[in-house]
Structure 1
Amino acid sequence: MSGEETNLPLPQYYARTLRSLVPIFNDSISLSDEGAQATLSQAIDDLYLVSRMLTSLGVFSDNESVDEIGDKELAFMTVPWVLGQAEAKGGLSGYDQRKDALRRSETALNAFQQLLQSYKVLGSDEEAESSGGAGAAPADPAKRREAKIRAYRREKELKESISNALPGHPDPSSTPLEFILALLPGAPGERESSTAVNEEEPELRDASLLILRLLREQAVATLANNAMELDILAQAPPEPVQGPLDDPRARRIEDDAAEWRLDRKPAGAVKPRELISGGGRVLRPFTILPSTTALSDRQRLQSEVFRSSHRLPTMTIDEYLAEEQRRGNIITGGGQASYDAPTESELLELEAENDGSAAAEEAAEKKRQKDENWARFTDDNRKGAGNTMNRG
């Protein structure tokens, strides 16, 4: 931490940490990137420092209610949520590291929910869900679908309310992290009069409470995903232990071959077994060859002896995947996020509930036409009529 950062007021220091996390939370950069992980690690350290400072200052107390806490202090109730979301994006270097990161994420998010319950920030319905063990997905598919639609509708309403309450009326599609930054001082020189923790700004109080309720919805979803991933990791086989080459003659043959090959390896080059780091980063280019398990020993030895005197052109895994992506050979989407997203019919149903608006009438008309087309199709096509080849 530089001397300039240590002299910053706590709100500006917290805002600077959040701004460093915006590209990571917005998925603008890949989490597998080494620079992204370094930024994430530094931001997590800063967030733990902010949390310790809030504890030492006694900003929050179990004996207070939400009416007794200052407007500017409400923004710091988001610290455990940001910490839990940041921890959920780290620990990608191995199974054990990932498990530890997910457990730390659960601890931070549970602390965030307990803080909201202590200050009674949540509504009656949200309070009942939290006390009833929110975070575990219902086993019944119908109830799981209803919970998904209810959560989506509540998030949409909260984002619209936050957009109307914040100064400047930001886009309702903004991320929760961007909403939090709207409560804090900006870059040095902006809102200089709002750097004190106890300074009151009543126009931000309603927006702060709405943001905390929105973050609670996000925390429930993250806790469910963490529990699912921890269950998968618990059933995963142990990571293989990488050891030295079994036959020392193989390394000697490789060294002898390097003496007469046309393009010799530079001094200090990495060893053949160190192609990929523990975090998944490619250390040197290499060719992707077909499997040799189906070849006989004679064919395998022949392919190793009668080979070109120069190394063939290679590309890294990232270059190969980028080329496949450009050619359209990689299918994107799907996964848990696609499963949780509302269907087209559900979105039309939600839009049609806004009575009196042109968008609602258009959505209701689209849903009516879709239902009518489906009813007409089922009338014209008897169930099983297309199964003419396999009647058994």
Structure 2
Amino acid sequence: MSELKMEEISLPALFEQARKIHLAATESGADQELVRKGCEVLEKCDDMVSKLGLFSANETKDDISTANLKYILVLYYLGELNEKLAGDDRVQILKTSQAKLKEFLTFCEAMELVPEEELQASAQGGANSFVERRALKIARFKRQIAAEAKLTEIRERKERRGRSTKAAALSTPVEAEEEDLLDDDGEEEREAWLTTISLATCKAFDLLEMLKKEEEMLSAIKEIQVKEGDKEFSQDALDDRTRKAEAWHRDAAARAHYTKPAQPITCATFAQDVLEGRAKVSQAHDHKHQPLIFGPQSLVGGSLTSERERMAAQVFQPGHRLPTMSIEEAGLREMQMMNNWQERTAKMMEDANSAWYKDNQKLGPNEDDDDDDDAAQEKARAWDDWKDDNPRGAGNKKLTPCG
């Protein structure tokens, strides 16, 4: 894009083009031609924002109009794209990127867009202790996650409203003025840009820390080069360091065979082998456990050489019953019970599907029914005979009073 063409484009269109270039460069990698083009467009945006005087030093975020909020991100985009540039003087590139990011954060601080904990850390010259740095990073990460979730929610809400508006427009004709009213989502747009700026501040702080560390490393390398007579670090020196490191790790691995005892095969190991199919439950395995001895740590941890020391170590005993088996043994026993149950179930299913069992099922119930019918008839006949011999009330004659 030539300078003349950039002059003809308006600021909103130029910013939208720069934002798309920044997004493409971030997602697709550092394409140098695209990155340089994005830097040129962003530089032009920054120049136009300064000439138009969109922001004032005595303003806050509440005084800035919704249409102008997005131009706060120009410096952030510029600092992030500058870091992706490739060049011989990497230190100068890092310094330029850090300058843009610091300018962006300073402006956000003036607009009251930076959290209080970040301001306190900056006032103290950064977090000093590891605990403070960790707490600051955790808080920053939580803000970043919340901002990303908020942007996703706003985007989904806008898409749903667009679909419902489109469906309503198809069913009911909408006038031009009513359509403008339906698209009036200024509050939502303002919330989206403020959330985007908050997300950019979190990323800017993290990027600043990373660039600072990289600059320190490059400066240290340059100092070493100056001390060694301006000799560059050759690939041979790096290969030599790599060989030494690999040799040290290889020797340490070789020493580990006789300096560290082998891992014993425990019940847990055997159970894991059974579960993964490398062993069977039927295989013999000796489950030995050392008895639990409670007592003073000096005696328990050491070797019990005399009966007196053994008795002293057994003074403090638990007041509850100790388990008779380990968890691994209980698991193996349950596995054995399950195997037995599966074998019995398989045998029952096999018997149930056999022809002999089906024939018995067909013949058995009829014979039993005939036997039951005969027994019931005999019992009914005996009961009728007894009732004939003993009419109702025959046993109460002796209770009749004398006349």
TM-score normalised by length of structure 2: 0.46
* Structure possessing the higher relative contact order (Cα contacts under 8 Å, 6 or more residues apart): 1
For normalisation by structure 1, the TM-score amounts to 0.47
Structure with the greater alpha carbon radius of gyration: 2
Structure number with higher helix proportion: 2
